[in-house]
Amino acid sequence: MSRTLFSSVLLAAAFSAATLIHAQTLAPTPPMGWNSWDAYGLTIGEEDFKANASVLAGIQRYGWQYAVIDEGWYMADPFGKTIDDKKYLWDQNGQLIPAPDRFPSSANGEGFKPLAGWVHAQGLKFGIHIVRGIPRQVVKENLPIADSGFHAQDAADTSSPCPWDDGNWGVKDNAAGQAYYDSMLKLYASWGLDFIKVDCISDRPYRPTEIRQIAAAIRKTGRPIVLSLSPGPTSLKNAVEVGKYAQMWRIADDHWDVWTANHKPGESEFPFGITDAFDRLAAWYPYVTPGNWPDPDMLPWGWLGPHPGWGEARQSRETRDEQQTEFTLWAIARAPLILGANLTKLDDFTRSLITNQTMLFMNQSLTYSHPVDPATLPPGFEHARVWRGTIDSPGSRNYAEFFAFFNLDDKPVTLKATWRQLGLDAGKHQAENVWSDTAFKDSKEITVTLPPHGSTIFQVR
């Protein structure tokens, strides 16, 4: 059996296994999908969303499944300069609803139900983004909260607005606040929601009360909805707590197409660069487990336009080596894989990355992964990193080992280490390069030459 066919069989088996355990664990493997923010910012509409989701459906067999509409779907005018100009839309109970001029199928009170149905018919899952809280104008009008005797002013926490988004007030940790989130998730679940990204909740500020309320509201719907928390960096001290309620949470500020941002201590880490992700993922690896996926953010590849969430429309600034390095790190660290590109303008190189069956199989199937301790590495690795990923344990029929090598330097490097220095036994091992599909003879050591910002990964036997 060829390696490509072997990988296909393993990939199918991995996704089948994930389906079987889904009833016990929501998001049993790292979520894979597409989000509109990196290419469209606030401006995504139904036609563009369907066009991108159609491309995603074409690669669904590789595991890509979530199609997510990011912030702004409830704005009649996403180009407005102020909140009043943006013209938020809500229903009689103060719940945000899609702007029908942008999402025509939502007219006449249909909400996202027709669009979610279309997404499901493509074999995909449907997601949306919200900023936690309750719209300020809803509070001013004191609208009733559905299925309760409460009104908006009973639920609003005016002492906790989002500091970087002035659309909402926070929600109180009381019965009225819970009723508001219950009514929200009941409505959105009725549309067929599978994924919800909640912003301004895991950092700046950290709002554990609202996280608990939203998670409780999701449970009451009876629908399996993945809860993703944003922005980062979520504090490590809150890792156990967020893991009780959410399946994904951001461990960094917004990641964009930069190699390194050279932030000074005490400064904002926006934009979060590729080099920054190595230490961040290394700190979070002990908390990676089925149903809990620390999230270093989306993959800003390909065409970022027509209205990206940051900067001007552009082809990703990442070089091909940097894209491969980023994908290799995200994959072996078992991070969620959420594409940010405009998929309707998908270039051949990006397509080759996101359809690499062995890389995707590894990301979805690893049972344990971690950075190799730099202290155990020989001289020459000062500007390099190594990650090790394992599937099952030695002796298992599915046992497999992967080693990823990364060059963080601005010049080429040749790395040489024995397998024992990398954590394996001192005997000979065969290494097969996942990216080039070439195998080396059995040896007690490995030698790798990498370009600036480059990487490679081996399956080792």
What secondary structure does DSSP assign to 14-78, as a single string? Answer: HHHHHHHHTTTSSS-S--EEEESHHHHGGG--HHHHHHHHHHHHHTGGGT--EEEE-TTTTBS-T
Give the DSSP H or E segment for 140.
helix 136-141
Average pLDDT over residues 297-326: 98
Average pLDDT of the chain to the nearest whole number: 94
Average pLDDT over residues 14-26: 51
pLDDT at position 24, please?
A: 57
Asked if the model's pLDDT at residue 11 lies above 90, the reply is: no
Is the pLDDT higher at 8 or at 43? 43
Asked if the model's pLDDT at residue 20 lies above 50, the reply is: no
pLDDT at position 6, please?
A: 40
Closest to 3 (Cα-Cα) out of 439, 452, 453: 439
Cα distance between residue 446 and residue 378, in whole Å: 12
Cα distance between residue 65 and residue 120, in whole Å: 10
| pLDDT category of residue 426 using cuts at 50, 70 and 90 | confident
Is the CB of residue 378 less than 8 Å from the CB of residue 421?
A: yes
139-189 pLDDT per residue, tens: 999 999 999 999 999 999 999 999 999 999 999 999 999 999 999 999 999
Closest to 422 (Cα-Cα) out of 375, 376, 370: 376
How many C-beta atoms surround the C-beta of residue 103 within 10 A? 23
**DSSP letter, residue 151:** B
Kindly list the distances between the CA atom of residue 152 and the CA atoms of 143, 208, 209, 251, 447, in Å, as whole numbers in the listed order: 5, 20, 17, 32, 64
Q: What would you measure as the largest C-alpha separation in the chain, in angstroms?
A: 73
Kindly list the distances between the CA atom of residue 166 and the CA atoms of 134, 226, 308, 354, in Å, as whole numbers in the listed order: 11, 26, 21, 36
Which of 13-17, 264-268, 330-334 is predicted least confidently? 13-17
How many C-beta atoms surround the C-beta of residue 90 within 10 A? 16
Query: Is 371-460 assigned to CATH 1.10.10.10?
Result: no
- Residue 400 main-chain phi, psi, to 5 deg: -150, 145
139: amino acid identity, one letter:
V
Domain ranges for the chain: 3-365, 371-460
Closest to 192 (Cα-Cα) out of 108, 107, 97, 117: 117
In the chain, the N- to C-terminal Cα span, in Å, equals 17
What does the chain come to in residues?
Answer: 461
93-110 pLDDT per residue, tens: 999 999 999 999 999 999
Q: In sequence order, which residues have a C-beta less than 8 Å from that of residue 82 and are 6 or more positions away?
A: none
Q: What is the pTM of this model?
A: 0.94
Closest to 28 (Cα-Cα) out of 246, 289, 363: 289
Asked if the model's pLDDT at residue 13 lies above 90, the reply is: no
Beta bridge partners of 202: 206
Cα distance between residue 288 and residue 281, in whole Å: 10
| pLDDT category of residue 14 using cuts at 50, 70 and 90 | very low
On the 0-12 / 13-18 / 19+ scale of CB atoms within 10 A, 283 is middle
Asked if the model's pLDDT at residue 5 lies above 90, the reply is: no
Same fold yes or no, 3-365 and 371-460: no
Which of 2-6, 250-254, 303-307, 375-379 is predicted least confidently? 2-6
Report the percent of the chain where pLDDT is more than 70. Answer: 95
Is the CB of residue 73 less than 8 Å from the CB of residue 102?
A: yes
Q: In sequence order, which residues have a C-beta less than 8 Å from that of residue 17 and are 6 or more positions away?
A: none
Kindly list the distances between the CA atom of residue 341 and the CA atoms of 275, 313, 347, 360, in Å, as whole numbers in the listed order: 20, 11, 10, 18
Using CA of residue 162, residue 166, residue 168, residue 172, what is the dihedral sign? positive
Query: Is 3-365 assigned to CATH 2.40.50.140?
Result: no
374-422 pLDDT per residue, tens: 999 999 999 999 999 999 988 888 889 999 999 999 999 999 999 999 9
| pLDDT category of residue 18 using cuts at 50, 70 and 90 | very low
Kindly list the distances between the CA atom of residue 279 and the CA atoms of 60, 251, 252, in Å, as whole numbers in the listed order: 31, 11, 11
Is the pLDDT higher at 20 or at 318? 318
Is the pLDDT higher at 16 or at 203? 203
Average pLDDT over residues 346-360: 96
Which of 7-16, 44-53, 76-85, 362-371 is predicted least confidently? 7-16
Closest to 78 (Cα-Cα) out of 44, 35, 49: 44
Average pLDDT over residues 271-296: 97
- Residue 268 main-chain phi, psi, to 5 deg: -60, 145
